[in-house]
């Protein structure tokens, strides 16, 4: 049995402002149809014949998630976000684009990850997560040794993990944590590989605000073959 997790601790409240009427209606009508099943499940059963399964952890307002789903209609895109305002925004993007290849968990991604089978994901995105800058709060960052181990379990050999942040300490933290897991290899060979947005990156309004202390950094990792015992 996989370990259960304490409730997710996050900045402020899970709802920071009143949700607009149209988005509130989508929370009632569309969200129930997009939530992943409760209990363990195989994501490919949600979209038979999918070319791949991607996961975005903490999708914010859903701009990147919806845009990637629109560009890759043959791929199932899973997303998890605990903030109600972000979920409501994502639902608007999904509804306006008429997307049918997105599933949304309005909650703790760790609970979703625990329900997925091994080697069930092709790509994972962790883009501009809450940095929890104070040292005593670092334990609340979404990337920890155990969550990296979970991602190693979930990604197929050859699968890819992308982390992006504009907080220098979090970039260093993420790079050290991921590389400490032998399942992952950093794909960068030159500075432009982490300084320039990847060709398939979708820039969001949040990213454009540049709220961090450095220019955005993009770290792409490759999931290697499992060790032979």
Average pLDDT value for residue range 34-42: 96
**Cα atoms in the 13 Å half-sphere on the side-chain side of 128:** 24
pTM of the model: 0.91
| pLDDT above 50: residue 229 | no
pLDDT of residue 15: 52
pLDDT of residue 162: 98
Residues designated as active site: 130
Q: Which structural domains are found in the chain, ordered by start?
A: 21-223 (3.40.50.150)
pLDDT tens digits, one per residue of 54-111: 999 999 999 999 999 999 999 999 999 999 999 999 999 999 999 999 999 999 999 9
The pLDDT assigned to 8 comes to: 47
What's the pLDDT band for 141 if we cut at 50, 70, 90?
very high
∠ CA 79-161-8, rounded to 5°: 45
């Amino acid at each position: 049995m996989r370990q259960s997790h304490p409730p997710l601790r996050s900045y402020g409240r899970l709802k920071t402002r009143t949700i607009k009427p149209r988005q509130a209606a989508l929370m009632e009508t569309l969200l129930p149809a997009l939530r992943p099943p409760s209990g363990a499940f195989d994501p490919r059963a949600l979209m038979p014949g999918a070319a791949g399964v991607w996961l975005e952890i903490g999708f914010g307002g859903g701009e990147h998630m919806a845009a990637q789903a629109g560009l890759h209609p043959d791929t199932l895109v899973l997303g998890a976000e605990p903030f109600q305002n972000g979920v409501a925004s994502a639902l608007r993007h999904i509804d306006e684009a008429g997307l049918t290849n997105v599933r949304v968990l309005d909650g703790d991604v760790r609970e979703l990850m625990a329900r997925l089978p091994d080697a069930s994901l092709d790509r994972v995105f962790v883009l501009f997560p809450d940095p929890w800058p104070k040292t005593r709060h670092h334990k609340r960052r979404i990337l920890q040794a155990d969550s990296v181990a979970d991602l190693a379990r979930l990604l197929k050999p050859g699968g890819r993990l992308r982390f992006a942040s504009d907080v220098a300490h979090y970039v260093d933290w993420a790079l050290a944590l991921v590389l400490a897991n032998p399942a992952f290899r950093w794909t960068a060979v030159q500075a432009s590989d982490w300084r320039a947005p990847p060709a398939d990156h979708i820039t969001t309004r949040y990213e454009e605000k540049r709220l961090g202390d450095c220019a955005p950094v993009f770290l792409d990792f490759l999931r290697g073959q499992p060790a032979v015992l």
